[in-house]
Chain A
């Protein structure tokens, strides 16, 4: 038994069949119940608010903190005031560190066109120009660049991920906020409605270009130019889901123990520590990064969801664990939206061959989710 995956739920073949049939009928990985709808919509509303802040900060860092080696004020979005500094030290703020944690996971796992472009000669040339412009009149940085020529280049790669993830979340947060508005208006009544809404948002922005440029000494330098043809769905959304939902990284608080026990694969492709696999129970403990996200979301919970949490478990005493559990349910809805959007054929097809192809596609996904929390979220409400 590992510390990271102690809660594998033994599930019956019948349950797998039920979930598979649901997917084939155009429904979701998460069972459709009124409580699930309320929980998922409520949590995605608070997630939307937090995501907006994360996205703005990531974009701000990529633009304003370009090659700033000691970005002390990177979480201030350019507004450096004494009251804000005091709030920061008092920790009365959004935990932007979580956004960086996701960014690093995404960069580490790579994948998609963004990852490929960052290894291209074109990128080296474009980044080199920006670096040279930034270093002009700065002999110390020039010396650093001479000594370690790959260091600043790698830093620019990371800033590309700051920007890429910022742009991805800039698209995502309005989807979640409008979902909540539609729920309040009575337009969203079921989990399939939630999935449809998210999928429609993803598809609508699928070909949105992902670009990145910085302004140095009044001149604009392209880093990810439009000619790279990077797009929202293929080059940020799918790598994000792969890196953050599926693979993830073992949490720092537990990694050393498990690494010593030789329980962590050296192959990144074999990682299954993502959001869909994460154990919500340690939330709140030291070294568990999602704690930061749960802490942020708790400030923006809609009243109906907060009331629901107050009536269950330890009330507000275990709020972060309950938020994490609900968040995981919502992520299964986002995953459903993504995989159904990628399915070879629409679920409405009547062609037996197309149906068989869809079945095989979904079975592959269920195999991949074999050790995830999918089976646990089938229980309860």
Chain B
């Protein structure tokens, strides 16, 4: 059975089916059906994980269908230790996002198919074993995400969605230029993924092409100074879309760094690695300092994402098997933690009507506040701050442990960023959740179990993976050997 294709076609066909439902169908029905579709996709991804052989570093379960051969485009899918965890994460977080979506959402007939389309696009990008096919999926997910922000976003949704579209479209253009350049300059017969391709080129060409790709993915991750679209997009996006944006969409950028940077340009990567490590430091420190300066909880979490994605860049720059393993762990860890934080901020906003940390206070009040939400927020910020026993610690420790020998100064500076995480999240927790509940907030509506459930599931997973991190990384242990460049004598530029 073509399981990999099922990951694409189940949500795609589900999206089509939902649009065909009668217009009077209730929002609850749309949500349930969409959740069933994604639950099937999640089941398929877990079945793939069961069939996956972790001891085999090579791509597995390959599916190939010739498509536009003159163009070099083929429908070529595969899965390895890098893409498998991200596939599971994508389907899992999409399900969480659906559970967190209000049944009273307007225009459900459009919303849910777009979420399914987004899911399919992201899965396709993670599965694509052809550069052009990756690019198609990469572009495909832009459209639903743009619409999801532009239609169901906040007051400045149009501005935020347009900015997101411009930035990420530019990112796509740069990637396409990089891919085209690589294939044409290397005179390759097709766009099929081939790690040896770039070694046929002079190093200077490799560096230029890698530079294009780095900036392209740098926008998507996002790295400073290409980050400005992200806080706006997060602030304006609805909670479930923020979950997907932070939890999954940003991972496309870091996935691209490993797959199309480290693996596709191993020689050029070694040249640019010190620069990238320094870039990571800038991103980490800038993101963290900006987070400290925020008064909007959602913006704070968004800037925190920028900082934490910098850790992934540091590990990727190091490009050792352990550091790539660390990068994968951090992608997963950040996906879960940021999703939890955005969910909780969403509940706080829904119940209090504010995300301003200068207004909110005392929400841990056991009877009149949001005590469980506050408690989960403490779990989330502890995980984000890298407290042992949680998944964040595992990922960050792996990153620092693996990067220190190669980039000691940059690693130490990034560790300062971890300290800053504690600063801004303690500010948030202290201001918003401790102290006396203001009189204006003593009549908050209660939080239903439906609102609590997605956060509880995420928090449980964050703790479980913190205690048993092997569940997180054992898929990738062998693959990372294949992903990392062997130390070679570089040709002269």
Contacts and interface: CB of A to CB of B under 8 A. Distances in A.
Interface residues of A, number: 17
Contact of B446 (A285, A317, A320): A317
Contacts of A315: 446
A314 interface: yes
B437 A281 contact: yes
Interface stretch (B148-156, B197-205, B364-372, B480-488): B364-372
A319 B367 CA distance: 8
B366 A284 contact: yes
A6 B368 contact: no
Interface of A: 3, 6-7, 279, 281-285, 313-315, 317-321
A3 B436 contact: yes
A55 to B, nearest CB: 28
B295 interface: no
Given A281-B442, A313-B443, A318 B368 contact: yes
Interface in B435-472: 435-439, 442-443, 445-446
Contact of B436 (A6, A284, A317, A318): A6
Contacts of A314: 367-368, 445-446
Contacts of A317: 367, 446
A281 B365 contact: yes
A14 B443 CA distance: 28
Nearest to B361: A6
A170 to B, nearest CB: 32
A7 B439 contact: yes
Nearest to B442: A281
B366 A285 contact: yes
A285 B374 CA distance: 13
Interface in B360-414: 364-368
A285 B364 CA distance: 9
Nearest to A291: B366
Contacts of A281: 365, 367-368, 436-437, 442
Contacts of B436: 3, 6, 279, 281-282
Nearest to B441: A281
Contacts of A7: 439
A283 B439 contact: no
A321 B435 contact: no
A332 B370 CA distance: 30
Nearest to A319: B367
18 contacts: A3-B435, A6-B438, A281-B365, A281-B436, A281-B437, A281-B442, A282-B365, A282-B437, A284-B366, A284-B367, A285-B364, A285-B365, A313-B368, A313-B443, A314-B368, A314-B445, A317-B367, A321-B368
B216 to A, nearest CB: 50
B446 A284 contact: no
B439 A321 contact: no
B373 to A, nearest CB: 13
Nearest to A254: B436
Contacts of A318: 367-368
Contacts of B364: 285
A120 to B, nearest CB: 43
Nearest to A318: B367
A6 B361 CA distance: 12
Interface string B43-58: 0000000000000000
Contacts of B437: 281-282
A319 B368 CA distance: 10
A63 B472 CA distance: 63
A91 to B, nearest CB: 16
B112 to A, nearest CB: 31
Contact of A321 (B367, B438, B445, B446): B367
A320 B439 CA distance: 17
A191 to B, nearest CB: 25
Contacts of B367: 281, 283-284, 314, 317-321
Contacts of B438: 6
Nearest to A283: B367
Contacts of B439: 7
Given A282-B365, A284-B367, 6 more contacts: A3-B435, A3-B436, A282-B436, A284-B365, A284-B366, A319-B367
